[in-house]
Amino acid sequence: MTSPALVASAVTMDIDEDKVDEAVLALLWLTLHDECRAWKGFDWDALDRLHQKGLILDPVGKAKSVVLTDEGLRRSEALFAELFGREPKK
């Protein structure tokens, strides 16, 4: 039997980095603490792109968390609801 990891590594996929960034930003909202800080356990390239877009402060440093800007906070909450929220039961 072939390992799923081996099969996945053989597949070439064109990745939409904007979608990845949106998912990472949404998940940053999930780990939010101290009003505007979130754990930065995500792909460094994605965090760098979020910094370049002005959604988080520079993620490089010894801190285990990153600071979201005001716009980053607004967008992360909206994206979290959009990507992971459920419709109310009727």
This prediction's pTM: 0.81
pLDDT band at 12 (very low <50, low <70, confident <90, very high): confident
Overall CATH class of domain 15-84: mainly alpha
CA distances from 65 to 14, 27, 87 (A): 29, 13, 31
- From residue 40, give the alpha-carbon distance in Å to each of 7, 58, 79, 83: 29, 11, 17, 19
Under the banding of pLDDT at 50, 70 and 90, the label for residue 9 is low
pLDDT, tens digit, for every residue of 13-67?
899 999 999 999 999 999 999 999 999 899 999 999 999 999 999 999 999 999 9
